[in-house]
Chain A
Amino acid sequence: MLLQFDKDGIYCEQAGIYIDPWKPVDRAVITHAHSDHARWGSKSYLAHHDSKNILKYRLGEDINLETLAYNEAIIINGVKISLHPAGHIVGSAQVRLEYQGEVWVASGDYKVMPDGITTPFEPVPCHHFITESTFGLPIYNFPNADTLNTDLKNWCLKNQIAGKSSVVIGYSLGKAQRILNSINELNMPVILHGAIYNTNQALGLNNERYIRYAARIKKTLNEPVIVVAPPSAIGSPWLRQFEPYELGVCSGWMQLRGARRRRNADMGFVMSDHADWNGLNEAVLATGAENIYVTHGYKSIYAKWLTDHYGLNAVAVDTLFEGETLEQQDIETTREEEASA
């Protein structure tokens, strides 16, 4: 086996590299900069060009980081390694490894539907495909980016007319930038949580349009505003100054009524950076792979589905970090926020 799942991560012995290791290793290939994939302490890192600044911001300026463009390959001890768009967040990549005619692809996190700002997902033909399964149940069917943009804008406008501010919740890396992209054109002041402001800066985005959060900032504005903040802000005193406001939460989990209610969301936007049910199936089939390794999410259910329905040789694989799960979204602070706070 070219790739193995061991106690430190996904390991390629031939090349001496780990993909998204959860412990410090000599050589790490990073699919994307979310903190359950990009861990601190490895001696060297390989990632996509667009992940450079954000990785340095999160893991430290002095990390030993080499970057590649999509489809650009390097060869380590006979293993050809290249990165391919995963469509998850900026700089996210699938890792393709080829050795003696056998091709493996580790998807990291991915989404198939274009979001308008991330380089869209490209299927990569292979023999062995490692897929995530965060939303690997047929109940998850996400709306497209245009629908979401329209819904989000209309909701903010409706709140504005009612004299209320709109608080929009999404992870600071990925989701927040999509939210901003939707609402930029609205004629309302936009206030950013510090974590999002800093993440924007690290991504090299222009923050001129936005106001960084400060105590009593709302008083100086005297009109309904849009606030964009990570999930940890829900229910915190941080939001009090924006009363009266409506709370909108952007997450794939918002597909479920129970999740919406537990977050006390006035409105749930089913916006996700992961593939939905059809997206997963489409992606898996497009690789043409016979052997599928399912990680992160409803892995045993999804592996069983792939075996039963498509006759693929699919197995569930344990990983240390389970990524986002429905259960976990109830636990208030997420690692992602801790890392970017």
Chain B
Amino acid sequence: MKAFTDLYYELDATTKTTPKVEALTNYFLHTKPEDSIWAIALLVGNRPKRPIKTSDLKLWSAALANVSEWLFDDSYSVVGDLAETITLLINSKSENVSEVSLNELMREFEGFSKLNDDEKKEVVLEYWKKLSPRELYIFNKLITGAFRVGVSKLLVFKALAKAYDIDEKVIAHRFIGNWKPTNTLLTDLLKEDEFSDSTSRPYPFCLAYALDFDLQDLGKVNDWQIERKYDGIRGQIIVRNKQLFVWSRGEELLTDKFPEFEELIEFLPAGTVIDGEILPIVEGDIKSFNQMQKRTTRKALTKKILQDIPLKMVCYDLLEKDGKDLRDLPLEERRRLLEEIVTNSKAFNSSLILAPLLSCDAWENLNALRNEAKSVGCEGLMLKRKDSNYETGRKRGKWWKWKVDPYSIDAVLIYAQSGHGRRANLFTDYTFAVWDGDVLVPFTKAYSGLTDKEIFEVDAWVKKNTIEKFGPVRSVTPHWVFEIAFEGINESPRHKSGIALRFPRISRWRKDKPLSEANTKQDLLNLLHANT
């Protein structure tokens, strides 16, 4: 645990990638594989469930620190982080270096399910009493199930690749899917030559950055494959060994949610992996994301819902054919093979359709295509180099997304709440309102979009202009207008305002706009009706 604690503080001390990769590589080189596998799981977010109730941790630590529960709560609301609050309250004076290894500790947590409350308490208290402040903090992060540190998966894989001298892409592939540190040996995972035994394993998704420069700088328009950008669930369909697996981009196995794809076991050749977008499509029309959510959040899939909201895969890439990894072939070639497989399949136009390629002879004409995308339920365009291989993760250069401009509305800040973690004790979570006659009605929350400097400014302003406090929320004097950008608008009976926005964020602080010029509820309703 000592080594893992040191690793955490090294990673936390810098924002630069080179020292992060160095620290990770060093860790993997000097740590036993059984500890490394846990470190990898924790770093890439494949962490186990919290082994213990937070209310218990709260109770025990308050008692140990000789403070009452209300005082614990008040302290927590100032610190903004549970593990840190417990660590500070316990105020360890220990300078011990723990002897427990990460593997031993995590396995001890796994075993908690077999212990009764008193036994759990005994174990936790023993750690609390003997760990030094640094290790105590990490221990509390682990036991509260909230361990997180600023490294991307890609950096972890890069370091593993260095430490074990294996290609980075291979590493990324081996760690995708639902492996568990409890039943996976790092050495097995790394020495595999073939993936024959890992039938379900998807490939890491290739992701695109948003286009942030002139189209002209992309070179010749002919070098690019142009597709629509869909607003569904990005997924991979895998047919291997007479089995079907449907993975989401979030590496969730969703096979059971989509019975319409079961036919593919028969209708696709073995060893096929298709990348595409899963969408609700009725008679050729793409339905809203809202409909999709109705379908995916439902626990039991009734006949009716399957009939009302049928899903299809819009296919746009082929990653594996006849069991062979195609990712290094040029896109143009993969597309040709994809068309062949899909159009020859009995599932063609039933559960599978092909993403249409758009033709465009000059960059000047592309904007019209982009705007058209919205009218067919898409959110913009994808530009992919015809000679591009299928990359691992998000890379600049070969694939770009070019989304239609978002909707925007000018709204008034009326409530503020402080954030957590890095944003603890800072008012960063805001609620916005629009005019309904001479009343301001709240309609959305938005968190991100301001610079750090602006956040400090708003924060200081909120503190000076609070009208009332309701728990952590403060109502403020209506004064500032912000431009809120969002991707979509839908009716929502669950919200007071009757509408729900998709991806709302602050796009600008309109210091130039007086309060009276903020938008109205009617403006929002107009957008809603234009949209449906």
Contacts and interface: CB of A to CB of B under 8 A. Distances in A.
Interface string B496-517: 0000000000000000000000
Interface stretch (B76-84, B185-193, B212-220): B76-84
A261 B425 CA distance: 12
A262 interface: yes
Contacts of B424: 256, 258
A255 interface: yes
B439 to A, nearest CB: 30
B285 to A, nearest CB: 48
A138 B425 contact: no
A282 interface: no
Interface stretch (B65-73, B121-129, B248-256, B327-335): B65-73
B459 interface: yes
B71 A327 contact: no
A308 B88 contact: no
Contact of A139 (B70, B79, B460): B79
Contacts of B70: 304
Contacts of A308: 68
B49 interface: no
Interface residues on B, range: 20 to 34
Interface string B6-33: 0000000100000000000000000000
Interface string B456-490: 10011001000000000000000000000000000
Interface residues of A, number: 24
A331 B84 contact: no
B147 to A, nearest CB: 14
A103 to B, nearest CB: 30
Contacts of A327: 425, 463
Contacts of B68: 305, 308-309
A216 interface: no
Interface in B36-79: 65, 67-68, 70-71, 74-75, 78-79
B529 interface: no
Contact of B422 (A140, A261, A309): A261
Nearest to B78: A137
Contact residues of B: prevailing secondary structure: helix
Nearest to A309: B68
A138 B78 CA distance: 11
A137 B73 CA distance: 11
A211 B89 CA distance: 41
Given A138-B67, A327-B463, A258 B80 contact: yes
Given A258-B424, A308-B68, A309-B68, A326 B88 contact: no
A237 to B, nearest CB: 15
A2 to B, nearest CB: 31
B91 interface: yes
Contacts, number: 62
Contact of A301 (B65, B71, B423): B71
B200 interface: no
Given A256-B84, A257-B84, A326-B425, A139 B459 contact: no
Interface string B420-441: 0111111000000000000000
Contacts of A159: none
B225 interface: no
Contact of A330 (B65, B75, B85, B456): B456
Contacts of B460: 330-331
Interface in A285-341: 298, 301, 304-305, 308-309, 326-327, 330-332
Interface in A216-273: 255-259, 261-262, 266
A94 B13 CA distance: 41
Nearest to B456: A330
A138 B422 contact: no
A332 B460 CA distance: 10
B75 A256 contact: no
Contacts of A305: 68, 71
A139 B75 contact: yes
Contacts of A298: 74, 78
Contacts of B65: 138
A258 B70 CA distance: 22
B84 A137 contact: no
A42 interface: no
Contact of B426 (A137, A262, A266, A301): A262
B91 A326 contact: no
A74 to B, nearest CB: 40
A151 to B, nearest CB: 13
Contacts of A160: none
Given A137-B74, A327-B425, A332-B456, 5 more contacts: A137-B78, A138-B71, A256-B425, A305-B71, A330-B460
Interface of A: 137-141, 255-259, 261-262, 266, 298, 301, 304-305, 308-309, 326-327, 330-332
21 contacts: A137-B75, A139-B75, A139-B79, A139-B88, A139-B89, A141-B91, A255-B88, A256-B78, A256-B84, A256-B424, A257-B84, A258-B79, A258-B80, A258-B421, A258-B423, A259-B425, A304-B70, A326-B78, A326-B425, A330-B459, A331-B456
Interface of B: 13, 65, 67-68, 70-71, 74-75, 78-81, 84-85, 88-89, 91, 421-426, 456, 459-460, 463
